Structure 1
Amino acid sequence: MPTPRELPTPEPGSTRLRGFLWAGLAVSIFAGWFVVTRFSVTRTLNVWDLTALRYGIGAILLAPVLLRRLPPGAWRHGFLFAALWGAPFAILVAFGVQMTSAGRAASVTPTLMPVFAGLLGWLLLHERPGKVRLAGYGGIAAGLCGLVLTTGGEQGAPSLLGLGLLVVAAVMWASYTLTLRRSGLTPIQSAALICFWSAVIFVPVYVALGLSHLGQAPIAEIAVQGIYQGVLMSSVALIAFNRGVALLGSSAAAAMIALVPVAASLLAIVFLGEIPAVAEGISIALIVSGVLLAASPPRPPAR
């Protein structure tokens, strides 16, 4: 059986700039996703509705990609990717958002993901991170603790079960980033396969068990969720993140995602007028510093 080819090693210069731009696009969409998801799961639509919209619409939009010739083992890799970053991931995060808050969810899963990616790469792939990246992971983890402890004090103690679901989702996301670059799939092929397998497995169960609340929700809410979940999250964000991984490498792209709570805080300032407290600002600064260190290019090995 042929060995899956690896994507080319990222080069400095314009390649890294394009990688940061792709990852930045993914960050902006992910940041809004927590807010949009929280809006609906606390009202009419449920977790199952949002998952069906996300992958059902995404599978239809990206179906033409699967009609072309795919690399060897593509369907097998796609099934694994769907298990790690498809419907199970979306369900865990949605329940985590419902049990905690959009702010806390955005502070846990995207922030822990690069830390887990670095640790798993070290343990499983023997890719030992340098001192600079380890310092970056420490800064990210410290900022996360600060955000969880200081964000939304009026909401009371966070749900331990909800936080646990978000941590498991972070591990799944990290595992996906480590396997993506070795699959030989392009970003759009990976996104198409994730949506296909998620829709094929989840949507029939969703219909058979009568989990839908779509008939009870306003048309405007369904339209907004359909566009955000089915177009932006299942297609644009997936492709943008996959492209960032291809250009930057899994560790650097994963570190960029830790900026999601920072972007979410900025969106809250602009659209909601929610100015972060001093402690939150310090936590955000720690995360930004950690991301800059963790996303730095590795030093070339000494001769």
Structure 2
Amino acid sequence: MMTSRTQGYLYVAITMCIWGGFTITSRLNAIWHISPWDITALRFSLAFCILMPILLYKKDTAFLFKKEPFILAMIGGVAYCLTSYSAFHFVPAAHAAIFLNGCIPLCTALAGFFLYKQPFDKHTWISLVIMMTAISAMSFLMYEETGVAFGFGDFLFFCSAIWWGIFTVLLRQWKLSAWHSMAGVAIWSAIIYVPIYLLFLPKHLDQATMPHLLMQTLFHGVFVVIIATLAYVEAIKRLGAFKTGSIVTLAPFIAAIIAVPLLNEPLSLAIICGLIGMGIGALQPWRWFAHKDSLQTSLEQQNKD
């Protein structure tokens, strides 16, 4: 029998593989001519077909009629997917690690401050300084190399980080279960987005091959939407929120390095600078030496009370 700690690391490994795969496969969408409109519709359509029968069988649909799952779906489902998938059509995978995954902790802290007046702790301030320094150095080097400091894809990735930061804060504030959060986002995203896609949005499914469409639909509709979400929550239960979040944050950065030989993508001095700086800022390695995470201390105090 595996210990709870070992199970936690197993769930972390599963999450890392899927999150890293998200970066690689999303970039492949651009190479395989699968548009952001198409993959978003395919992703939520498949998840809907899997989850809705389960909810009906369990007679667990009442939560869908509350405003919280709908709002989460529009922000963390439709808006996040459209901006993030679109960004991969403009810039390499390494930019996702920097401007999306690297900025998510910062955007989450900012969303908490603006929405619920949650103050920054010292770790957030340290991360902010490191990230701003890394982005400034990276933009200077990119301007020296190409004459352009930031691209449109970088802007879209940063918008995606903002959406995910707001989504995370709302999810934490509303205290929905992992199952209800995941199912609500998938189902409401499908209900709202798919009809709009079918009626009004451009479709380019004929430009991609059937094996590519099937692979991407299965991976993004099942592995990303369902399996990664549940594995991530199970890892948090066993290892704690900070340790789990720190480890899985490595996945997109590792994927960005793998994309260099796998997808023949460039790796300049500017990108290396951005990856290192944003990686350190997102991981906050100095907190690993603290006796106890502040979040874990707060949870233990609540349990005592």
What interval of TM-score do these two structures reach, taking the shorter chain for normalisation? 0.7 to 0.9
For residues 129-149 of structure 1, what are the alpha-carbon distances to aligned partners after superposition, in whole Å with 9 as ceiling and x for unaligned?
Answer: 432342134334444555666
Pair 1:298-2:294 in alignment: yes
- For the residues of structure 1 that align with 2:140 and 2:218, how far apart are their CA atoms? 33
- Indicate the larger mover: 140-149 or 162-171: 140-149
- 1:177 pairs, out of 165, 168, 176, with 168
AA of the residue aligned to 1:89: Y
Are the counterparts in 2 of residues 110 and 257 from structure 1 also a CA contact under 8 Å? no
Cα drift, residue 52 of structure 1: 1.0
- For the residues of structure 2 that align with 1:61 and 1:184, how far apart are their CA atoms? 24
Q: Which residue of 2 aligns with 1:60?
A: 49
Q: Which residue of 1 aligns with 2:28?
A: 39
- Indicate the larger mover: 27-36 or 75-84: 27-36
Are the counterparts in 2 of residues 265 and 276 from structure 1 also a CA contact under 8 Å? no
Cα drift, residue 200 of structure 1: 0.8
Q: Which runs of 5+ in 1 are unaligned?
A: 1-12
- For the residues of structure 2 that align with 1:237 and 1:146, how far apart are their CA atoms? 33
- For the residues of structure 2 that align with 1:44 and 1:150, how far apart are their CA atoms? 31
Distance change >3 Å, CA 135–CA 257, structure 1 → 2 = farther
Cα drift, residue 196 of structure 1: 0.5
- For the residues of structure 1 that align with 2:224 and 2:233, how far apart are their CA atoms? 12
Q: Which residue of 2 aligns with 1:109?
A: 100
Cα drift, residue 211 of structure 1: 2.9
SS, match of residue 103 in structure 2: helix
- For the residues of structure 2 that align with 1:123 and 1:24, how far apart are their CA atoms? 33
- Indicate the larger mover: 208-217 or 64-73: 64-73
Are the counterparts in 1 of residues 92 and 265 from structure 2 also a CA contact under 8 Å? no
SS, match of residue 221 in structure 1: helix
- 2:211 pairs, out of 210, 220, 236, with 220
Q: Which residue of 2 aligns with 1:6?
A: none
SS, match of residue 45 in structure 1: coil
For residues 37-95 of structure 1, what are the alpha-carbon distances to aligned partners after superposition, in whole Å with 9 as ceiling and x for unaligned?
Answer: 22223443211111111111111122244233559755422111111110221011122
More helix by share: 2
Distance change >3 Å, CA 58–CA 268, structure 1 → 2 = same
Cα drift, residue 20 of structure 1: 6.6
Distance change >3 Å, CA 31–CA 175, structure 1 → 2 = same
For residues 136-166 of structure 1, what are the alpha-carbon distances to aligned partners after superposition, in whole Å with 9 as ceiling and x for unaligned?
Answer: 3433444455566668x98773664333222
- 1:48 pairs, out of 11, 29, 37, with 37
AA of the residue aligned to 1:292: Q
Cα drift, residue 204 of structure 1: 1.3
- Indicate the larger mover: 25-34 or 96-105: 25-34
Aligned length: 289
- Indicate the larger mover: 157-166 or 86-95: 157-166
- 1:190 pairs, out of 173, 181, 185, with 181
- Indicate the larger mover: 56-65 or 159-168: 159-168
- For the residues of structure 2 that align with 1:260 and 1:89, how far apart are their CA atoms? 19
TM-score, scaled relative to structure 1: 0.76
AA of the residue aligned to 1:54: R
Are the counterparts in 2 of residues 113 and 254 from structure 1 also a CA contact under 8 Å? no
Are the counterparts in 2 of residues 111 and 141 from structure 1 also a CA contact under 8 Å? no
Cα drift, residue 223 of structure 1: 1.8
AA of the residue aligned to 1:31: G
Identity over aligned pairs, percent:
23
- For the residues of structure 2 that align with 1:116 and 1:88, how far apart are their CA atoms? 15
TM-score, scaled relative to structure 2: 0.76
Cα drift, residue 195 of structure 1: 0.9
Q: Which runs of 5+ in 2 are unaligned?
A: 299-305
Q: Which residue of 1 aligns with 2:19?
A: 30
- 1:157 pairs, out of 148, 161, 171, with 148
- For the residues of structure 1 that align with 2:285 and 2:189, how far apart are their CA atoms? 35
